[in-house]
């Protein structure tokens, strides 16, 4: 699995701060951006955000390349509707090599891992057979599993990204998308530290779990410690 921050809004914090300030100023955002400095960050951006006015964060966007993940993971990812996605096509890209993701819970069980591998070999043997019989790739792909490796490009604005990170860095998130989310969080904290300073599951971002009866009752102190040490 590899996550890369391909592109992002330069001066995102300056932009969002100025946009927020323009709501309460007779000056336009252009002049406010010229007057902006980091000392104004807390007042111009921190205050509106603490009051729940997160729409100003929609002016900034971040684009990621996510490679070597399973289709099972991307099926979860695309449920986050306020985002743009471009995924590797199984119709136009040949799947003639068995690239798949082996879950850790299977890998740690030797017998289960062997059975899993045999099933994958059988699936790709069937796929290659269908293609050799001139079955179109768009139809042959019907036999491919959720574990099939894929690449996807994702763009989210900062507001949606905060929401995504809150849900998907939670311990209750599926392991693969949680790993992806943690990598995304580390990357955006490097370029927009103020916006994402408190990002993460609600147990660390808000000091309380929002999962109710489904709570794991085990706050992500490990993630908080890891982020604070970077």
Query: Annotated catalytic sites, by residue?
Result: 168
Residue 2 is given by DSSP the state E
Q: Which long-range contacts (CB under 8 A, 24 or more apart) does 199-204 make?
A: 199/162, 199/165, 199/166, 200/165, 200/166, 200/169, 200/224, 200/227, 201/166, 201/167, 201/169, 201/170, 201/171, 202/166, 202/170, 203/170
Is 24 exposed, middle or buried, given 0-12, 13-18 or 19+ CB atoms closer than 10 A? exposed
Please report how the helices 175-191 and 158-168 are oriented relative to each other, as an axis angle in degrees rounded to 10: 140
Alpha carbon 86 to chain centroid, angstroms: 14
Token pair listed for 2:
């590899």
- Strands (DSSP E) along 84-148, which ranges? 84-87
Q: What angle do CA 7, 178, 120 make, to 5 degrees?
A: 100
């Amino acid at each position: 699995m590899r996550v890369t921050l391909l592109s992002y809004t330069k001066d995102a914090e300056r932009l969002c701060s100025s946009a927020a300030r323009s709501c309460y100023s007779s000056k336009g955002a252009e002049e406010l951006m010229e007057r902006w400095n980091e000392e104004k960050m807390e007042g111009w951006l921190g205050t509106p955000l603490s009051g729940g006015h997160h729409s100003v964060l929609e002016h900034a966007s971040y684009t990621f390349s996510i490679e070597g993940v399973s289709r099972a993971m991307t099926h979860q990812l695309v449920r986050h509707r306020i985002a743009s996605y471009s995924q590797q096509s199984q119709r136009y890209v040949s799947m003639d090599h068995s690239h798949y993701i082996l879950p850790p819970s299977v890998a740690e069980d030797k017998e289960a891992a062997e059975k899993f591998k045999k099933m994958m070999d059988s699936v790709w043997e069937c796929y290659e057979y269908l293609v050799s019989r001139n079955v179109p790739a768009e139809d042959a792909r019907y036999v491919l599993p959720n574990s099939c490796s894929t690449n996807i490009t994702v763009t989210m604005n900062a507001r949606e990204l905060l929401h995504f990170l809150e849900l998907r860095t939670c311990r209750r998130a599926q392991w693969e998308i949680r790993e992806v989310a943690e990598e995304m969080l580390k990357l955006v904290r490097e370029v927009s530290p103020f916006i994402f300073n408190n990002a993460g599951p609600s147990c660390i971002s808000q000091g309380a779990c929002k999962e109710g009866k489904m709570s794991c009752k085990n706050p992500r102190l490990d993630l908080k410690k890891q982020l604070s040490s970077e």
